[in-house]
Structure 1
Amino acid sequence: MIHSALPMVLVGLLFGIGLYGVLARRNAVLVLIGVELMLGAAGLLFVTVGSLTSDVVRAGQVMTIFVISIAAAEIAVALGVILAVFRARGNIDMAKAGESE
């Protein structure tokens, strides 16, 4: 069986990369990718903790399915908003989000 520290390190690494992507990027699509990385890290954490405990209802795995569903809906809505902003402004730079032309 795999040691529990390895998935926890992977969770921390994925979440850190996602957080960097959200805080350091100006492109809206790259920010969205960072959010998806953080949601993936949360799902991996749910599965890891769920497999370590003797839960009969498998709450960690069920929560991961909810996280995947929410991530899919979030991607669909966010890409629609990004596409609408791109059509209106011609760019998707987050630094210029508050400026009007």
Structure 2
Amino acid sequence: MRPVIPYVTAALLFGLGVYGVLRRRNAVLVLMAVELMLNAVNLILVTADTTVRAQLPHGGQVFALFVIVLAAAEIGVGLAIVLQLYRLRATVAVDEVPLAERPEGER
């Protein structure tokens, strides 16, 4: 099997995810773009596992399983943060989030 098609597909998915992270203002869409990047990495890991025979049997599939678990944890924590942000600010726009909390006297 020639691994060119899965590698090109993974590169396109990863590029689309990077574009989504850099361009989007909505926090939920940024999380979806991160998920696209993680799925691209999973595709590369599984493709490399099937094409390159290393000393570790099914190593790419095991790493892909770890990435899936990491993605599930990231979505859980990320959506909790987005929900709290919406409750506090009534918006989920990423560029309106204050990175450093100012003291009450400064405005």
Tell me whether the two structures share a fold, i.e. TM-score over 0.5. yes
Rounded to whole Å, the distance in 1 between the matches of 2:20 and 2:64 is 22
Rounded to whole Å, the distance in 2 between the matches of 1:54 and 1:74 is 31
Partner of 1:32: 31
Task: Map 1:15-54 onto structure 2 (within 5 A).
Answer: 15-54=14-53
Structure 2 residues without counterparts, runs of 5 or longer: 102-106
C-alpha displacement of 1:57:
1.9
Task: Map 1:1-101 onto structure 2 (within 5 A).
Answer: 1=1, 3-55=2-54, 56-98=56-98
User: Pairwise CA RMSD of aligned residues?
Assistant: 1.7
C-alpha displacement of 1:26:
0.5
Q: What whole-Å deviation, never above 9, does each CA across 1:31-77 have from its counterpart, x for those lacking one?
A: 00010000000000000000002245210000000000000010001
Q: Which amino acid aligns with 1:91?
A: T
User: How many aligned positions are there?
Assistant: 100
Rounded to whole Å, the distance in 2 between the matches of 1:40 and 1:67 is 9
TM-score in terms of structure 2 length: 0.88
Structure 1 residues without counterparts, runs of 5 or longer: none
User: Identity of counterpart residues, as a percentage?
Assistant: 45
